[in-house]
Amino acid sequence: MDTGEQISLTVHKAIAEIGAADWDACAGPVNPTVSYTFLQAMEESGSASGRSGWAPQHLSLADESGRVVGIVPLYLKSHSYGEYVFDYGWADAYERAGGRYYPKALAAVPFTPVPGPRLLVRPDAPPETKSHLIAGLAEFTRQRGISSLHVNFPDDADAEALFEAGFLQRMGQQFHWTNDGYKNFGDYLAALNSRKRKAVNKERREALAAGLEIDVLTGADLQPKHWDAFYRFYLATSDRKWGSAYLNRKFFALINERMADKIVLVMARNAKEYVAGAFNILGTETIYGRNWGSYGDYKMLHFECCYYRAIEFAIDHGLKRVEAGAQGPHKLQRGYLPVPTYSAHYIPDPGFRRAVAQFLAREREMVEQKIEHLAENYSPFRHTEDEPAAD
């Protein structure tokens, strides 16, 4: 697409057409989920492909010299699975009215509800680069004659740019833990109220009461045997909860080969046999909890592996946050507070757009009230300095 300013937008049917150097120059080092290595592993493994309903349509923006200055990870979707922003009701309503909802366009990281940049811009790119990318997304949608384009889990800066450009705003909610300068896990516990502090200590004891041990593995410590065990847990849990697994074994092999230093695998072991595990992605400031799986029913082990070990890792490595994935109000009493997340939606059909906009306004009000209510009434942290910090 020619914008009239000696720049061009190109649609790529594979991330490899853009290449690692240009992609990562735009994506930056902070959030590995938008890195070339992570997304290429999705495509190369077949986890995100046309066959799985995730046909890559990545946009790149090049300046007059041909240098790539901006990118959007974009997919043509034939369904709404693996997105964590639910639009099944929209699809049903549009098709009952005689429209064709699928395929739709989606700018997101497949199977990964991690907020982060979606308008990937090289640091020295012209200031109007984001606006050109947004215009390109809208034109892509119109030219393809598709029902809608969705941008899931953009960071705050990208969300603001999209909303200012007229994309519809949708608000969601996740639970994140923030490191308030804690020196160790005990220091964090001291910030909790007495009742919650006792509950956390009890849960941690019960998680290991069966004689289990926990291995926290990253980098060169990660071996195929760990991934073989974790993948079995992942399949078992996916089959129980969702009916099918999105990610295949090859995906995990590729990221272990190419970005092991950005992976943290928390594995629970009974003697030499692994029985459960939690898969995390490591950014420069944040550890992102992604997948959990287990064989057998071990009381409190999920909380230990997914939440408490992630907090310990963040404190020990000076990270600012733990983002523990989608949903889960049970995270609140373990120190993960509610935060808003966003998605942005471009809908060319004016009637459909009005209906969705009305729904989003009502939904947004409810989400805002829920976040406020949870934070004010259910926070596990001490509310006054008068309450003792330790029992």
The pLDDT tens digits of the residues spanning 61-116 come to 999 999 999 999 999 999 999 999 999 999 999 999 999 999 999 999 999 999 99
Give whole-number Cα distances, 214 to 131, 301, 371, in Å. Answer: 47, 10, 33
Closest CA to 327 of 184, 176, 139, 210: 176
Core vs surface per residue 36-51: b (16+ CB within 10 A) or e: bbbbbbbbbbebbbee
For residue 332, give the DSSP letter. G
Q: Is the pLDDT of residue 242 over 80?
A: no
Return the pLDDT at 240. 55
Segment 202-230 mean pLDDT: 97
What stretch(es) of the chain map to CATH 3.40.630.30?
A: 8-166, 176-338
Tell me the C-alpha distance between 228 and 249, whole Å: 8
Tell me the C-alpha distance between 66 and 60, whole Å: 11
Q: Is the pLDDT of residue 390 over 70?
A: no
Tokens 């070990």 found at: 309
The pLDDT tens digits of the residues spanning 18-28 come to 999 999 999 99
Residue 212 — φ and ψ, nearest 5°?
-75, 150
Name the least confident of 158-162, 291-295, 340-344. Answer: 291-295
Confidence of residue 388 (pLDDT cuts 50, 70, 90): low
Closest CA to 180 of 306, 371, 311, 304: 311
Start-to-end CA distance of the chain, whole Å, equals 65
Structure tokens at 250: 């090859």
> What is this structure's pTM?
0.95
The pLDDT tens digits of the residues spanning 274-290 come to 999 999 999 999 999 99
Return the pLDDT at 254. 98
Tokens 């009502």 found at: 362
Query: Where does 176-338 sit in CATH, by number?
Result: 3.40.630.30
Asked if 74 and 104 count as a contact pair (C-beta separation under 8 A), the reply is: no
Structure tokens at 208: 């290991």
Reduced to 3 states (helix: H, G, I; strand: E, B; else coil), residue 305 is helix
Confidence of residue 243 (pLDDT cuts 50, 70, 90): low
Structure tokens at 380: 């596990």
Residue 272 — φ and ψ, nearest 5°?
-100, 0
Query: Where does 8-166 sit in CATH, by number?
Result: 3.40.630.30
Tell me the C-alpha distance between 180 and 321, whole Å: 9
Tell me the C-alpha distance between 339 and 254, whole Å: 32
Return the pLDDT at 383. 73
Confidence of residue 3 (pLDDT cuts 50, 70, 90): very low
Segment 351-379 mean pLDDT: 96
Residues listed for the chain: 391
Asked if 64 and 71 count as a contact pair (C-beta separation under 8 A), the reply is: no
